[in-house]
Structure 1
Amino acid sequence: MRVWAIANQKGGVGKTTTSVSLAGLLADAGKRVLMVDLDPHGSLTSYFGQDPDTLEHSAYELFLHQGIVPEGLPRQLLLPTSHERIALLPASTALATLERQSPGQNGMGLVIAKSLAQLWNEFDYALIDSPPLLGILMVNALAASQQLVIPVQTEFLAVKGLERMVNTLTMINRSRKQALPYTIVPTLFDRRTQASLSTLKYLREHYSAALWQAFIPIDTRLRDASRVGVTPSQNDPGSRGVIAYRALLKHLLSNQPASHVA
């Protein structure tokens, strides 16, 4: 299994859309994909028609055992999606309570890594949709991952979120055996606006080493796919957004660490 986290310390930058788009393209190519929703807002869970406010079973249950993951529990929590090769480990709003429950409990930062270990041979990829706040859930996502994707909306305020995310990654890497490689992905690009143009220029000047040099354009077809609960490539494989995500996926696969190349 290859594990990718999609994260940024700012909301509204396209994390869920990026997660679903990449997962859909991997599944279209015959890969078995697990999607993990660690955001208490549950956007990914809602995308596939589940209600994070009323779900009886969710990823929250993985954190209720003092850092130990009972055998078989992760598999019991999985839900089907609109794509036959994609399974969902859903979020519930109860995840928001973990921060005040977890202080002093050892091993809480590795719960997702331990959960994925139980599913290692059942999936080719796991994509983790992370919350926009630094806390136990983001730490879990980063600790479990082999590669990080950082979507950045092409507007100035999103750059501040990127700066915080890179600082967080520097901190996390101090406790990892190997630094976590990351790719910055410009999203919601609108070439008609000065904000998009100037932000993309800034990213290319200041983050070129980790930046995917293309961008994900604004595309209403991506929103249309979320409305009907299917992956963007299921909804319209020829849309501008899907074409861009297909190019991004090719880039990510070609730049994986050698031991993780598909």
Structure 2
Amino acid sequence: MRVWAVANQKGGVGKTTTSIALAGLLAEAGKRVVVVDLDPHGSMTSYFGYDPDTLEHSNYDLFLHKGQVPEGMPAQLLLATSNERISLLPSSTALATLERQSPGQSGLGLVIARALAQLWQDYDYAIIDSPPLLGVLMVNALAASQQLVIPVQTEHLAVKGLERMVNTLAMINRSRKQELPYSIVPTLFDRRTQASMSTLRVLRDLYPETIWQGYIPVDTRLRDASRAGLAPSQFDPKSRGVVAYRALLKHLLSRQLAPQVA
């Protein structure tokens, strides 16, 4: 299994759409994918028609065992989605309480890595949708992943948020055994606006080595796919957004590292 995290410390940049779009394209290519919703808001969980406020079980259950994960638990929590090759490890609003519980508990930063280790042979890819703030959940996402995708909205305030995310990643890398490679992905790009055009230039100037040279355009078909509960490539495989995500996936696959040992 290869594990990718999608994260940014700024909200509204397209993390959930990016996670599901990539999962859908991998599934289309015949891969088995598990998507992990680590955002207490549960956008990914809601995308696939589940209510994070009322689910009896969720990935919150994984954190209730002092950093350990009981054998077989991750598989019991998986939910079906609109794509038979994509399974969901759902979120719960209870995840928001973890920060208050985490002081004094060792091992909480590795819960998701331990959970995915139990699913290693069952899936080809795991894609983690991370919350937009630094805390135990984002630490879990980064600790479990082999490659990081950082969506960045092409507007001026997003550049500052990206700077914080890159600094966070540098901090996380100091505690990892190996550096986590990442790709910056410009999103919500609108070539009709000066803000999008100038922000894209700034991003390319500041991060020439790590930015993907393409961009994800504003595309109402992505929103329509969300409303239908379908991965964008299922909903409209020829839309501008899906064409862009196909190019992004090709880029990410070209940068893939050898799989880690679970």
Range of TM-score over shorter length: over 0.9
Q: Distance in 1 between matches of 2:111 and 2:39?
A: 15
Number of residue pairs matched by the alignment: 260
Please tell me whether residue 36 in structure 1 is matched to residue 36 in structure 2. Answer: yes
CA drift of 1:133 comes to 0.4
Aligned to 1:120: 120
Aligned to 1:168: 168
Aligned to 1:99: 99
Aligned to 1:233: 233
What are the within-5 Å matches in structure 2 for residues 124-163 of structure 1?
A: 124-163=124-163
Runs of 4+ aligned structure 1 residues displaced above 3 Å come to: none
Alpha-carbon contact 2:153-2:186 (below 8 Å) kept: yes
Deviations 1:201-254 (A, max 9, x none): 000100010000010000000000000100000000000000000000000001
Q: Report the secondary structure of 1:174's partner residue.
A: helix
Aligned to 1:25: 25
Deviations 1:57-114 (A, max 9, x none): 0000000000010001100000000000000000010000000011110100000000
Please tell me whether residue 80 in structure 1 is matched to residue 95 in structure 2. Answer: no
Aligned to 1:188: 188
Please tell me whether residue 47 in structure 1 is matched to residue 50 in structure 2. Answer: no
CA drift of 1:123 comes to 0.2
Deviations 1:172-221 (A, max 9, x none): 00011100000000000000001100100000100010000010000000
Aligned to 1:71: 71
Aligned to 1:251: 251
Q: Distance in 2 between matches of 1:40 and 1:161?
A: 20
Q: Where in structure 1 are there 5+ consecutive unaligned residues?
A: none
Using the aligned pairs only, state the percent identity: 80
CA drift of 1:259 comes to 4.8
Q: Distance in 2 between matches of 1:201 and 1:12?
A: 20
Aligned to 2:201: 201
CA drift of 1:257 comes to 1.8
Alpha-carbon contact 2:35-2:129 (below 8 Å) kept: yes
Alpha-carbon contact 2:16-2:43 (below 8 Å) kept: yes
TM-score, normalized by length of structure 1? 0.98
Q: Distance in 2 between matches of 1:174 and 1:121?
A: 29
Q: Which amino acid aligns with 2:116?
A: L
Q: Distance in 1 between matches of 2:259 and 2:188?
A: 32
CA drift of 1:255 comes to 1.1
